Amino acid sequence: MLGSEQLIVGGCHVTIVVPGNRRHRADRDARSDTIVAVSLLRVAHRSGVSDADVARRLPGDDLIADAEVQMDRAVTLAAPAETIWPWLVQLGKGSGGWYMPASIERLAVWPARKRGARRIVRELQTLTPGDLIPDWGPGNPSFKAITVDPPRALVYLSLRDRRHNWSWPSEPAGEVLAFSWALILEPLDGGSSRLHIRLRGRFGRRGRLRPLMLSLGGLFDYLTIAALFAGLRERVARPAG
């Protein structure tokens, strides 16, 4: 079966005969590429959540009312909220670290002392609103605890000034990046819990590459949160010690 395509060469119409199976294959490949692209864009902004989850308001949403981006991730953990909560409280740089599965930590995190905590550390359970938690990244970024409501809601806010080494600005304005990070625990039947994490952000600087950078940032967020969820599963499945 043959098909044809019209081209204009030097002002003249030229008809090129193309085998039908080749055209069908090209159309099929184009559709597949489109499906993959759409799927990646979706994962960049949400995973493990429904449309209703994304639409509902969560604690901390009001911190950045004009957010440019929102990312929602959720997971079911086989433990009650009271068991999971202490792990969330000590999560972070300079505290309990970032949780990942042991198999990944052994390959990717060296020296071993930099790996996420594998026990509840009593000294790290004193988080209160207003506390600053260092964050990873260039400069001196940090998150401020805004809501500490055990064992249900933990909400952070981060303001980062490019002009001052990405530190917390004395007066939020101009090129300041703003992020809110909410970790919400909900009890489920059978002693399990659902952890919903929402990141909302606003960026001061705009440019042609903004959509691409947001998509790449979303994919990185997906990978890091997926590792966190897997690391939490391991930790809550064994005695806290």
Mean pLDDT (whole number) for 51-77: 96
Q: pLDDT tens, 24-38?
A: 565 555 555 455 455
Going by pLDDT thresholds of 50, 70 and 90, the confidence category of residue 81 is very high
pLDDT in tens, 194-207: 999 999 999 866 66
Residue 99: is its pLDDT beyond 90? yes
pLDDT at residue 18, as a whole number: 47
Neighbouring CB atoms inside 10 A of 32's CB total 10
Give the Cα separation of 128 and 108 in Å (integer): 32
Q: What's the CA gap between 206 and 159, in Å, rounded?
A: 17
Percent of the chain residues past pLDDT 70, beyond the cut? 79
pTM above 0.85, yes or no: no
Q: What is the CATH number of domain 48-236?
A: 3.30.530.20
